[in-house]
Amino acid sequence: MKPRRRLRLGGILVATVAVLVAGTATSTAAAQDTSPPSPGVDEIVHSPNMRQLTNLPKEGPFASESAFNTDIAFTKNHAIVGNYDGFTIYDVRKPHKPRVVSQVLCPGGQNDVSVSGDLLFLSTDYARTNDTCTSEASVASDPNSWEGIKVFDISNLAKPEYVAAVRTDCGSHTHTMVPDKKRKSVYLYVSSYSPAANLPNCQPPHDKISIVEVPTKHPERAAVVAEPVLFPDGGNPGGPNPDGTNRSATTGCHDLTAYPEKNLLAGACMGDGVLFDLSDKLNPRVIDRVQDNVNFAFWHSATFNNDGTKVVYTDELGGGGMATCNEKFGPNRGANGIYDVEGRGDKRSLEFASYYKLPRHQSENENCVAHNGSLIPVKGRDIMVQAWYQGGVSVWDFTNSERPKEIGYWERGPLSDTELITGGSWSAYYYNGYIYSSDIQKGFDVLAINDPRTASAKSVRYDEFNVQTQPSYGRR
């Protein structure tokens, strides 16, 4: 989701740029909205194969409507949920009875999280007066304001300790943790965007990412070690769409997803979808780049399939604050774009296959658009669980890239029947047999799916899981 503070809606050669044109973008959601009418306020509806196990409401300093829950990382059967005002650590060893282990008040939205061993990393993308957790809101036009990466020691999950901070240009909207091969350091690929001439720490053209190295035994030495330029040509210039919305210009990346085992990185970069070679961790090299100037407004996030032969890119039309799951925007706007990775080596290319969008219309009082999800580790199939804000949680199969289909869902009705209040599932991820959802307003949900198509995933276990650092779950 885009911050409210400002509109954030070494040379690298781009191998190819593929532009989708009308007539080539096929929809797979022609049968959209075949379900019963939308549920009422706070009413829960779901497919027969999905159910809610429990919900823990937001609490303490995060209980207010303005304290949005955000992304999730997992370690040692604990879920760490970011919040615009800090983060909460939940013990999920008993998924039916999760409990709060600790909360850290540290304002600085979005506070997206990742974890590596005993270290937790937090993204700050709102200007603050300094890098402490007691800082106050500032303005990005102040050269002394601070945004960037914070590092915590979580060796004691009940008492996280703040140990380091690194300023990065334009802040850190999201970040992706990539381990060093020798395991002596981790690299954080920082995504940030929307520079402006009046922002001294976020100057145009900002066609780069920041790479922060964190030595695992000396996290206090964390520092920016590289700033590779990804778009020497400036990227997508952006422009208006026929329905009055705007297509984002590329001024950085919103999110990066690494697949370290395959030395691949997928970039969702505002106006561009990018596939990178990650052999050189400090110099990700563009293999291919695609644009969709017909239906995509904002390339938001990316997910590889387990074989690394497909990438699902999401379009966060409206920045997560609009009602776009309706007849007005249709089946191809605010959707996922599924791309097959064809060819080998430097000749690999991203080839559009289809769109997938939530197949149920939502009310005009529900912000709804494609958002964060993860693979469900089913060998031999490509199945994903995904958050759609107030559209709820959808489980869908894209084994056939051209014919994706939903196989399960769970959702709440709107927060209000008279106004649109921002809410819903920000992230929905599968971890050790269950689906965990971070709801912006309602808190922490634990869901179960009972379906023969996903049953084998229950045997896959991870001690540590960062969705933007994809692990392999075995060969097909």
pLDDT the model gives residue 36: 60
Instruction: Give burial (CB, 10 Å; 0-12/13-18/19+) of 163.
Output: middle
pLDDT the model gives residue 7: 31
Helix, strand, or coil here: 377? coil
Instruction: Give burial (CB, 10 Å; 0-12/13-18/19+) of 23.
Output: exposed
The token pair at 341 is: 């990775």
| CA–CA distance, 199 with 195 (Å, rounded to integer) | 7
Q: How many structural domains does the chain have?
A: 1
The residue-averaged pLDDT of 400-426 equals 98
213 pLDDT higher than 60: yes
Asked whether the beta carbons of 283 and 267 are under 8 A apart, the reply is no
Note the pLDDT tens digit of each residue in 73-115: 999 999 999 999 999 999 999 999 999 999 999 999 999 999 9
Q: 41 in a domain, yes or no? A: yes
2 pLDDT higher than 60: no
Note the pLDDT tens digit of each residue in 104-157: 999 999 999 999 999 999 999 999 999 999 999 999 999 999 999 999 999 999
The residue-averaged pLDDT of 396-400 equals 98
State CA 76 to chain mean position distance.
21
What is the chain's mean pLDDT, rounded?
92
Of 247, 256, 295, which Cα lies nearest the Cα of 274? 256
The size of the chain, in residues, is 476
Note the pLDDT tens digit of each residue in 356-385: 999 999 999 999 999 999 999 999 999 999
The residue-averaged pLDDT of 5-26 equals 34
| CA–CA distance, 395 with 39 (Å, rounded to integer) | 19
State CA 291 to chain mean position distance.
19
| CA–CA distance, 142 with 105 (Å, rounded to integer) | 24
State CA 17 to chain mean position distance.
24
Asked whether the beta carbons of 350 and 311 are under 8 A apart, the reply is yes
6 pLDDT higher than 70: no
Give the Cβ contact number of residue 130 at 10 Å: 13
CATH label of the domain that carries residue 103: 2.130.10.10
Q: What burial letters (b/e) apply to 84-106, b meaning 16+ CB within 10 Å? A: bbbbbbbbbeebeebeebbbbeb
Q: 475 in a domain, yes or no? A: no
pLDDT the model gives residue 363: 96
Q: 6 in a domain, yes or no? A: no
Note the pLDDT tens digit of each residue in 295-334: 999 999 999 999 999 999 999 999 999 999 999 999 999 9
Q: 8 in a domain, yes or no? A: no
Q: 1 in a domain, yes or no? A: no
% of residues, the chain, pLDDT over 90: 89
- Residue 436's domain comprises 17-465
Q: 380 in a domain, yes or no? A: yes
**pLDDT band at 21; cut points 50, 70, 90:** very low
β pairing state of 17-20 and 285-292: parallel
Q: 476 in a domain, yes or no? A: no
**pLDDT band at 244; cut points 50, 70, 90:** confident
**Separation in Å, CA 121 to CA 102, 233, 273, 288, 297:** 16, 31, 25, 29, 29
Q: 4 in a domain, yes or no? A: no
